Amino acid sequence: MKLTPEEKKLEKNFRPGALSKDGFLGTDTRHVHDIIRADAAVLASLHIGAERIAARMQYFLDCGKEGLEQTVTFGGHTVQIRWDRGKIPCPFGHAGVYPLIHVTLENRSLNRTLKYASLSIHLIRSHGFFGGRGSVYRIDPENAVQVLDLKNE
């Protein structure tokens, strides 16, 4: 398949060193659009939309901010926020940049954890992109639904 100049630029943005040290694909060799399609199929089988996942992730990020980098416990969850210096752009080329906020969310009743960054919320909400396999912030859609308690809402 011959890539357009736009597709080549997109693909480059996802590789290590272009916008982030580790990139967004990890060890995944699939094209970005193939990763998105595969995750969309998982979401469809769960009857959950990407927007709903992103909204719930944003909710927990906002709750965690109240703790000023201390662990916040509420309901059956604990959330820890870490701020790093700097901002990162969207690899899809959207205008704007996102603060380097990292979230560790634990669903205590399931004893399961979800780790994500503020950029992850945008990538899921706007692009349906959950990261490539093996990437630092790959979010497994099924695990996200469970940790975020989306089936119990």
Mean pLDDT of 66-92: 88
The full set of domain ranges for the chain reads 5-152
Q: Where are the alpha helices (DSSP H) in the chain?
A: 5-14, 32-46, 50-65, 118-127, 141-147
Predicted TM-score of the model (pTM): 0.90
**What is the distance between the alpha carbons of residues 42 and 20, in angstroms, rounded to a whole number?**
27
- 116 pLDDT above the threshold of 80: yes
Tell me the residue length of the chain: 153
Mean pLDDT of 83-105: 90
Indicate the pLDDT class of residue 79, thresholds 50, 70 and 90. very high
Mean pLDDT of 71-95: 89
pLDDT in tens, 2-31: 767 787 778 888 888 778 888 889 899 998
